[in-house]
């Protein structure tokens, strides 16, 4: 288990990763190469129906500074600079996108054995200020997340959450959407040797009094091949198989069917990630 409670975004993350990560509804191809000087260049292409989107990302690491520069098909130039350990436990993140002059953002993250704090603000005259804080240990954590718009003087976000963990089980409860939605999640490692785990998530909307229930599982067929599946109470069922055919290079096939409308065509997605 990790040391300390982590950041607010870590509350319920294991369940979210199990239920939603790597499922692909489009066709995506990613290839990463490294120059002799250690610069990583990643090219990605995604086909969404008749639309094709592509981007090229260049990453340079030097000492404790990581710089990412990405150019996409919409002629946007995005830059992220991460500085680790300016002080013990402190990470500084500066990001901006050209030509959007209002996209600049500065973020500070601080991790301690008994606390995790993240704060960010836009680099504009009237920025949105975000703050999240967690206190506790690696087994029990409670935290909150708020956003304040200095232009309107209103809170645009206020959430809260609590998490309980042990070696093979994680449970979390969060209030989201300005306390309009209650989310309960559960993650359990059934068999570590085969990476077999199960998870469930329940979302309750106070405004509509509706519940959305999602359950899922994953299992490693062998050290290089993993299968995952999930289904929700709306009848949407998803499954995927992912194979690591060489170190860090993954091939993923995923599909989705609507069990309440079996006459509709199933959706399929492909993802190929190549790394040297």
- Model confidence pLDDT, tens digit, residues 248-275: 999 999 999 999 988 888 999 999 999 9
pLDDT at 22 over 60: yes
| pLDDT of 2 | 58
Q: Delimit the domains of the chain by residue range.
A: 8-274
Phi, psi (rounded to 5 degrees) for 96: -160, 160
Q: What is the mean predicted confidence (pLDDT) over 66-93?
A: 94
Question: Any idea which fold 8-274 has?
Answer: Porin (2.40.160)
* Three-class DSSP category at 12: coil
Average pLDDT, the chain: 95
| Residue showing tokens 């973020």 | 107
| pLDDT of 1 | 52
| pLDDT of 28 | 96
Residue-wise pLDDT tens digits, 158-214:
999 999 999 899 999 999 999 999 999 999 999 999 999 999 999 999 999 999 999
| pLDDT of 37 | 87
Residue-wise pLDDT tens digits, 96-144:
999 888 899 999 999 999 999 999 999 999 999 999 999 999 999 999 9
Residue-wise pLDDT tens digits, 27-67:
999 999 999 888 999 999 999 888 999 999 999 999 999 99
Tell me the β-bridge partners of 53.
46
């Amino acid at each position: 288990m990790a040391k300390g409670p982590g950041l607010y975004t870590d509350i319920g993350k294991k369940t979210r990763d199990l239920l939603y990560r790597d499922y692909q509804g489009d066709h995506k191809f990613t290839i990463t190469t490294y120059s002799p000087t250690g610069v990583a260049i990643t090219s990605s292409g995604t086909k969404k129906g008749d639309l094709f989107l592509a981007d090229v990302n260049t990453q340079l690491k030097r000492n404790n500074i990581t710089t990412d520069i990405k150019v996409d098909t919409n002629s946007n130039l995005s830059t992220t600079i991460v500085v680790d350990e300016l002080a013990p436990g402190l990470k500084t993140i500066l990001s901006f996108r050209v030509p959007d002059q209002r996209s600049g953002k500065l973020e500070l993250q601080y991790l301690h054995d008994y606390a995790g704090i993240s704060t960010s603000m836009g680099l504009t005259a009237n920025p949105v200020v975000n703050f999240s804080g967690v206190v506790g240990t690696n087994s029990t954590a409670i935290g909150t997340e708020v956003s304040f718009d200095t232009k309107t003087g209103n809170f645009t976000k206020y959430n809260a959450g609590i998490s309980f963990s042990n070696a093979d089980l994680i449970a979390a409860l969060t209030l989201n959407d300005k306390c309009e939605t209650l989310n309960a999640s559960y993650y359990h490692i059934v068999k570590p040797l085969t990476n077999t785990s199960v998870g469930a998530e329940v979302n309750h909307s106070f405004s509509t009094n509706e519940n959305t229930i999602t359950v899922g599982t994953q299992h490693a067929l062998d050290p290089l091949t993993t299968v995952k599946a999930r289904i929700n109470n709306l009848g949407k069922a998803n499954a995927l198989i992912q194979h690591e055919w060489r170190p860090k290079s993954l091939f993923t096939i995923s599909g989705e069917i609507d069990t309440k409308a079996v006459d509709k065509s199933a959706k399929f997605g492909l993802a190929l990630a190549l790394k040297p």
